[in-house]
């Protein structure tokens, strides 16, 4: 299914994705594919559309939330309980490479589009499902949002300050992680199709993704049998690897091995710390992390963040500013890497959104289509189908 706006552009050019997803996890998966050149046709509920169209803040009457994750997509409104709209949907599937949905398990079956039915009718179709708990297991049919899987998956138990209340990660890592894994799984299934000629079912659970993102927490628990607790900003196994207070604000220092720690002591002119037995190895520094932090902050508070960051960077010590969002948007590094993109509402109002971090050769994701209004592309989409 060709599209003048995406044809020949990006590594996924020539791939057509039918997108039944809404809110964040699924739309984030299809956003990444659209950015990389796939044609993404967003199938939405008539009159209402994607749930995120009703989530603020709003630019005039358009949701900035929706606009931030639905660029480079087309929109058609279909009621999959109506015969005429089912016929249009099935015509789309005949020419599609990928179908992505994030309904609760069982919904596609009730609509008549189980994996078994789809695979028989469209044997080359990749069918990607993103759900809270996956297609199997005792919790499979339960509803979920990001907050639910952050809590159930353990990440919330590791986040925040010692002794504080349960704390959600500041971005929707439950949704975003699932969207990323769904995108990876879909690309792997497309590659496998090149070898076998057959489509595959990709089943991604938000809860599974949270467990996969627990990094070394499971391994640490298995070794020492101590349940990990929130420890603030520091790393549980590497010290110094934390946020530190300087004269005029906060900065981060990540001296991830003994050599870097020794060099840090030299740069800060703290020779006593180099020979202090409490800090002679990384395991000892982790045990005595609070004492070390106090010693380092005494010195760091003598000068500004800028002074120390410049000095540490010159000496190849990993360090950085503690930036708020406004400062991130002004960062020359972020701007040079084209990590900020402008999309426009139907009334021409500009909205700056996060770009795509995947650079492949000379290819960098651009805005080829602004986020669509509901059913915006109906005529164009139907015109390209074998549909009367």
- Residue 263 has what pLDDT? 97
Q: For 192-239, how does the pLDDT look when each residue is reduced to its tens digit (9 = 90+)?
A: 999 999 999 999 999 999 999 999 999 999 999 999 999 999 999 999
Determine the CATH number of domain 241-323.
3.30.1540.10
Q: Which of 179, 185, 201 is nearest to 23 (CA)?
A: 179
Catalytic residues: 235
Determine the CATH number of domain 16-213+335-383.
3.40.50.10540
DSSP codes joined into one string, 112-134 = T--HHHHHHHSTT-EEEEEESS-
Q: How far apart are CA 270 and CA 34, in angstroms?
A: 52
Q: Name the residue ranges covered by the structural domains of the chain.
A: 16-213+335-383, 241-323
Q: Assess whether the region 16-213+335-383 and the region 241-323 belong to the same CATH fold.
A: no
Q: For 30-64, how does the pLDDT look when each residue is reduced to its tens digit (9 = 90+)?
A: 999 999 999 999 999 999 999 999 999 999 999 99
Q: For 88-103, how does the pLDDT look when each residue is reduced to its tens digit (9 = 90+)?
A: 999 999 999 999 999 9
**pLDDT > 90: what percent of the chain?**
95
Q: How far apart are CA 75 and CA 373, in angstroms?
A: 7
**pTM check: above 0.85:** yes
CB 124 within 8 A of CB 199: yes
């Amino acid at each position: 299914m060709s599209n003048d706006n995406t044809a020949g552009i990006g590594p996924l050019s020539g791939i057509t994705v039918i997108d039944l997803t809404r809110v964040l996890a699924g739309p984030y998966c299809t956003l990444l594919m659209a950015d990389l050149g796939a044609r993404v046709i967003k199938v939405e509920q008539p009159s209402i559309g994607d749930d995120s169209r009703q989530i603020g803040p709003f630019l005039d009457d358009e949701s900035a939330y929706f606009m931030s994750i639905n660029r480079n997509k087309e929109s058609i409104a279909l009621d999959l309980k109506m015969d005429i709209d089912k016929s249009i949907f099935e015509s789309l599937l005949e020419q599609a490479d990928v179908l992505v949905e994030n309904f609760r398990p069982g919904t596609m079956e009730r609509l008549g589009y189980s994996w078994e039915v789809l695979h028989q009718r469209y044997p080359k179709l990749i069918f990607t499902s993103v759900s809270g708990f996956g297609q199997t297991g005792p919790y499979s049919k339960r509803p979920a949002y990001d907050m639910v899987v952050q809590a159930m998956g353990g990440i919330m138990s590791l986040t925040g300050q010692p002794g504080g209340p349960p704390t959600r990660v500041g971005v929707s890592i439950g949704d975003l992680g699932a969207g990323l894994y769904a995108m990876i799984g879909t690309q792997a299934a497309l590659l496998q199709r090149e070898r076998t000629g057959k489509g595959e079912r990709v089943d991604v659970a938000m809860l599974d993704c949270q467990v996969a993102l627990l990094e070394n927490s499971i391994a640490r628990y298995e070794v020492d049998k101590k349940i990990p607790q929130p420890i603030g900003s520091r790393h549980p196994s590497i010290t110094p690897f934390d946020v530190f207070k300087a004269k005029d604000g906060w900065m981060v220092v990540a001296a991830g091995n003994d050599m870097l720690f020794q060099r840090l002591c030299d740069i800060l002119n703290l020779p006593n710390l180099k020979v202090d037995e409490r800090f002679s190895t990384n395991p000892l520094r982790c045990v005595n992390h609070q004492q070390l932090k106090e010693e380092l902050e005494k010195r760091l508070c003598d000068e500004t963040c800028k002074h120390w960051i410049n000095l540490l960077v010159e000496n190849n010590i990993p360090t950085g500013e503690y930036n708020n969002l406004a400062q991130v948007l002004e960062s020359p590094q972020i701007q040079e890497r084209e990590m900020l993109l402008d999309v426009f509402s139907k009334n021409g109002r500009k909205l700056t959104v996060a770009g795509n971090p995947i650079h492949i050769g000379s290819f960098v994701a651009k805005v080829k289509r602004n986020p669509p209004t509901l059913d915006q592309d109906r005529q164009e989409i139907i015109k390209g189908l074998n549909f009367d």
